[in-house]
């Protein structure tokens, strides 16, 4: 007697371990300054601006520089986090992931946010971090939105360019030769080229031409696997026939070769007769 069906009936959780009911949506953060986008922008500032400034001998940002990551509105809360597991450094509570720790900090420790803090997410257009992490290795697998170059889109780009230029002037004063060079270099890269709508459209079209959609790639892989599987099945099913045909062909070839070798001898015998 098979006891497995009875065991599954007694333990329905094993028979159907996954529920078809959708997961409830998680509570999103309500602060107008996106915490996640601010993180991405902060990484880009430290990687692209701060590192190049340090190589040029500029070690400290001016007091009014919005790219000084210590003025980030979330800097104090981010420093209080303890990772692996996620623990609030203020009250010691533990959370399953970073999102719920951020939600806890927003609700319970909002007093840690400075009144004059800088929202780094405001500069996401310049650093290409408004939609996803520009430093992520999986960035190219995500679908990018087509740049909006109509009147409204150009107006938003102009506002982002003015904001970027103002920040560059405060971070790289023009009273020093080295900071003037850094201002010209970074302003051209992050405020001019990065916020040029035509350049954005060209990059988006190039990306669309190079990127292969994931669903198409999966279809190609599935077809290739099916083709290989069919060949293997046919080979197994007709293996005996293939071996018999191969052996028969070999015997026929050998017989023909023997006949060719014996034909001169027979012709001599016939002549002697």
pLDDT tens-digit readout, 93-109 = 999 999 999 999 999 99
pLDDT tens-digit readout, 231-249 = 887 777 777 777 777 776 6
Q: Got the DSSP string for 120-151?
A: GGGGHHHHT-SSS-TT-TTGGGSPPPPP--SH
pLDDT of 207 higher than 80: no
> Which residue reads 């201002």 in tokens?
183
Residue 137 sits at φ, ψ, to 5 deg, of -75, -15
pLDDT tens-digit readout, 41-55 = 999 999 999 888 888
Q: Which of 113, 120, 115 is nearest to 50 (CA)?
A: 120
**pLDDT of 118:** 95
Lowest mean pLDDT among 20-34, 232-246, 255-269: 255-269
Q: Got the DSSP string for 153-196?
A: HHHHHHHHHHHHHHHHHHHS-TTSHHHHHHHHHHIIIIIIITT-
pLDDT of 22 higher than 80: no
Q: Is 133 left (phi over 0), alpha (psi -120 to 50) or beta?
A: beta
What is the rounded average pLDDT of the residues 178-192?
93
For the entire predicted model, the pTM comes to 0.63
Q: Which of 23, 25, 36, 24 is nearest to 106 (CA)?
A: 36
Categorize the per-residue pLDDT at 7 as very low, low, confident or very high, splitting at 50, 70 and 90. Answer: very low
Domain boundaries, given as residue ranges, for the chain: 35-74+113-136+145-211, 214-253
pLDDT of 196 higher than 90: no
pLDDT of 27 higher than 60: yes
pLDDT of 200 higher than 80: no
Q: How far apart are CA 246 and CA 252, in angstroms?
A: 10
Residue 56 DSSP one-character state: T
Which residue blocks in the chain are alpha helix, DSSP H? 4-10, 12-15, 35-44, 51-55, 75-80, 98-108, 124-127, 151-171, 177-186, 197-210, 214-237, 239-272
pLDDT tens-digit readout, 153-166 = 788 889 999 999 99
pLDDT tens-digit readout, 65-97 = 999 989 999 999 999 999 878 999 999 999 999
């Amino acid at each position: 007697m098979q006891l497995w069906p009875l065991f599954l009936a007694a333990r329905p959780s094993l028979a159907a371990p996954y529920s078809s009911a959708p997961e409830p949506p998680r509570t999103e953060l309500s602060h107008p300054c996106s915490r996640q986008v601010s993180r991405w922008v902060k990484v880009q500032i430290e990687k692209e601006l701060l590192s190049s400034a340090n190589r040029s001998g500029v070690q400290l940002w001016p007091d009014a520089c919005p790219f000084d990551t210590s003025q980030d509105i979330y800097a104090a809360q981010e420093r209080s986090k303890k990772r692996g597991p996620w623990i609030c450094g203020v009250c010691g509570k533990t959370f399953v992931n970073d999102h719920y720790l951020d939600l806890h900090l927003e609700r319970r420790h909002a007093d840690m946010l400075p009144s004059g803090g800088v929202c780094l997410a405001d500069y996401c257009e310049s650093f290409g971090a408004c939609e996803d992490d520009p430093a992520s290795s999986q960035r190219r697998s995500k679908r990018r939105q087509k740049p909006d170059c109509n009147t409204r889109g150009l107006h938003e780009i102009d506002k982002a360019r003015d904001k970027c230029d103002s920040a560059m002037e405060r971070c790289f004063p023009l009273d020093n030769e080295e900071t003037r060079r850094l201002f010209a270099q970074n302003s051209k890269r992050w405020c001019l080229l990065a916020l040029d709508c035509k350049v954005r459209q060209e990059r988006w079209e190039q990306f669309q031409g190079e990127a292969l959609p994931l669903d198409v790639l999966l279809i190609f892989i599935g077809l290739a696997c099916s083709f290989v599987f069919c060949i293997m099945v046919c080979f197994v099913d007709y293996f005996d026939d293939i071996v018999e045909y191969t052996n028969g062909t070999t015997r026929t070839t050998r017989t023909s070769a023997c006949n060719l070798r014996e034909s001169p001898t027979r012709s001599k015998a016939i002549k002697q007769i």
